[in-house]
């Protein structure tokens, strides 16, 4: 059992007056789940691809527990909820080192006063008068990389994830198509759902067995075969290609997480109205409805891209669906449109405040790309993140997502994706989302940090 205590000291830089606040924390399941949620054995060494826990996660202090996050609002005190909601403003953060940048959100570890204890660790973080100003109602210990830039800022946009492993295996076109068409993963049920349009204008929905959490007697953890548990086909009349044999179009399919799958099709328009074809498929019986939206005076990028069914499959993830809303990039990249999937009259233009690079991580011969993704309740692009209340945060331009060509599928602190490389292989990428809440400490009294005060946070965590 772990127990932690926080002491926050605010010192007036002019008068020397000190305010002191002391509180105790609760411990979440973030660290236990890291070691127990071993998806498809990816925490093991496989095919000569090592996974270096030592120095990245172990020893826990100052690695898996090596950073601190400060929040404006109290956090939910639930051991199973170890990521803060996006609408809770992160006031500041710090890692296990000295901040050498001009980032005013980030403090520094006091290397002199921080020390290893017999049964734990004493962290001491210092924040200058210019750093972490605002209201602090909760503090949490986190991974050392989570304390560098939280979910991304203008100085760092890569450390919100740990790219733990990338695996590739040669596979035939049918198998590659199944993985690249993945839209839903059920980790505890050990299956994934793939949806794609074939060359007969049929939407093919497959339920494919995967050894995510339970290994059968004949299962393999290598992605060069598939076991189709169930296959269904539906025949739309609107959501179709004019030339199905070509099998390419600016569309994608999504898991609504509301009992339905959705498909959206839009060819980028630089002027006039956006015309979006849509389809809504009920998971329980495969019944569907379809239609067309006309969004007045909206200029949008492509909804996505699919091609090469059972030949040379390709996919671009260019839009995302979250909590009943489709997020699509504006054609001029100055804003993101948020569209209610069940009421197209409910459209919000979220202005970014800058022209997004809207970039993906591309490599020669790559046939899958990701431009936008969801993590928790964040909508992210290469240089922005959007909270659930539509607040936009500008980030350094970076899209370090490996070979990802599907949405991210989250399970505990981990997420995975599938993709492709050239005409032969299936790629699987395994990540950890680093800004978890290893501990939660809701302060009995909120702290107001202002530009005339320095702040010292002493956080002691010990085994009992």
Q: What is the pLDDT of residue 45?
A: 62
Which residues are CB-contacts of 45 (< 8 A; sequence separation ≥ 6)?
A: 51
Q: Render 144-164 in DSSP notation, one character per residue.
A: TTHHHHTT--SS-SSTTEEEE
Tell me the backbone φ, ψ of residue 341, rounded to 5 degrees: -70, -15
d(C-alpha 39, C-alpha 414), whole Å: 8
Residues 6+ apart with CB under 8 A from 127: 92, 94, 107, 108, 449, 454, 455, 456, 457
- Spans of the chain, pLDDT less than 50: 46-50, 364-365
* Tokens (6 digits) for 292: 């067309």
Query: Across the strands, what pairs with 228?
Result: 208
Among 134, 212, 197, 247, which residue's Cα sits nearest to residue 411? 212
Question: 295 pairs with which residues across the strands?
Answer: 274
Both tokens of 198, joined, read 């074939």
pTM given for the model: 0.95
pLDDT of residue 46: 47
Any long-range contacts for 414-420 (C-beta under 8 Å, 24+ apart)?
Answer: 414/34, 414/37, 414/39, 415/375, 416/39, 416/42, 416/185, 417/370, 418/179, 418/180, 418/182, 418/223, 419/180, 419/366, 419/368, 420/176, 420/179, 420/180, 420/313, 420/314, 420/315, 420/366, 420/367, 420/368
SS (H, E, C) 237-274: CCCCCCCCCCCEECEEEEECCCCEEEEEECCCCCCCCE
pLDDT of 161: 94
Q: Which residues contact 95 (CB under 8 A, 6 or more apart)?
A: 66, 67, 106, 109, 144, 145, 147, 148
Closest CA to 125 of 146, 99, 103, 143: 99
Q: How many CB atoms lie within 10 A of CB 113?
A: 13
pLDDT in tens, 333-346: 999 999 999 999 99
CB atoms within 10 A of CB 93: 30
Residue 48: predicted pLDDT? 47
CA dihedral 116, 119, 123, 124 (to 10 degrees): -80
Residue 101 corresponds to which tokens in the numbers above?
């940048």
Would you state the pLDDT for residue 31?
96
Torsions phi, psi for 420 (to 5 deg): -140, 160
> Rounded CA gap, 235 and 193, in Å?
18
Residue 324 is predicted with a pLDDT of 98
Place of tokens 């099998």: 247
């Amino acid at each position: 059992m772990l127990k932690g205590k926080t002491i926050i000291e605010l010192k007036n830089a002019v008068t020397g007056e000190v305010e002191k606040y002391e509180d105790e924390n609760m411990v979440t399941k973030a660290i236990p789940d890291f070691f127990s949620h071993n998806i498809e054995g990816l925490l093991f060494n496989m095919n000569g691809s090592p996974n270096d826990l030592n120095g990245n996660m172990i020893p826990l202090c100052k690695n898996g527990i090596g950073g601190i996050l400060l929040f404006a609002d109290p956090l939910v005190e639930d051991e199973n909820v170890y990521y803060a909601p996006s609408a809770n403003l992160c006031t500041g953060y710090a890692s296990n080192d000295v901040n050498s940048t001009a980032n005013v959100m980030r403090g520094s570890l006091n290397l002199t006063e921080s020390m290893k204890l017999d049964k734990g660790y004493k962290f001491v973080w210092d924040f200058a008068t210019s750093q972490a100003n605002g209201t602090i109602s909760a503090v949490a210990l986190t991974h050392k990389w989570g304390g560098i830039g939280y979910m991304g800022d203008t100085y760092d946009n890569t450390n919100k994830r740990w790219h733990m492993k990338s695996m590739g295996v040669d596979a035939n076109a049918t198998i590659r198509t199944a993985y690249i068409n993945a839209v839903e993963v059920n980790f505890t049920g050990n299956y994934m759902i793939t949806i794609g349009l074939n060359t007969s204008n049929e939407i093919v929905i497959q339920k494919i067995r995967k050894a995510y959490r339970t290994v059968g007697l004949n299962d393999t953890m290598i992605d060069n075969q598939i076991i189709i548990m169930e296959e269904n086909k539906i025949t739309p009349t609107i959501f179709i290609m004019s030339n199905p044999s070509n099998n390419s179009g600016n569309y994608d399919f999504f898991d609504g997480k509301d009992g339905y799958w959705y498909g959206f099709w839009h060819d980028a328009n630089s002027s006039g109205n956006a015309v979006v074809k849509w389809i809504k498929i009920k998971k329980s019986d495969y019944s569907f409805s379809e239609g067309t939206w006309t969004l007045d005076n909206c200029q949008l990028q492509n909804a996505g891209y699919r091609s090469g069914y059972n030949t040379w499959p390709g996919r671009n993830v260019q839009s995302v669906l979250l909590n009943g809303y489709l997020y699509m990039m504006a054609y001029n990249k100055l804003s993101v449109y948020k569209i209610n999937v069940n009421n197209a009259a409910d459209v919000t233009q979220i202005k970014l405040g800058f022209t997004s690079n809207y970039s993906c991580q591309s490599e020669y011969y790559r046939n899958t790309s990701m431009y936008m993704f969801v993590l928790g309740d964040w909508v992210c692009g290469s240089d922005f993140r959007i909270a659930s209340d539509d607040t936009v945060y500008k980030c350094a331009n970076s899209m370090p997502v490996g070979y990802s060509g599907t949405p991210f599928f989250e399970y505990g602190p981990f997420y995975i994706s599938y993709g492709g490389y050239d005409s032969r292989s299936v790629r699987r990428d395994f990540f950890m989302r680093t800004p978890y809440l290893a501990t939660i400490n809701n302060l009995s009294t909120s702290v107001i940090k202002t530009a005339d005060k320095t702040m010292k946070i002493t956080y002691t965590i010990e085994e009992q």
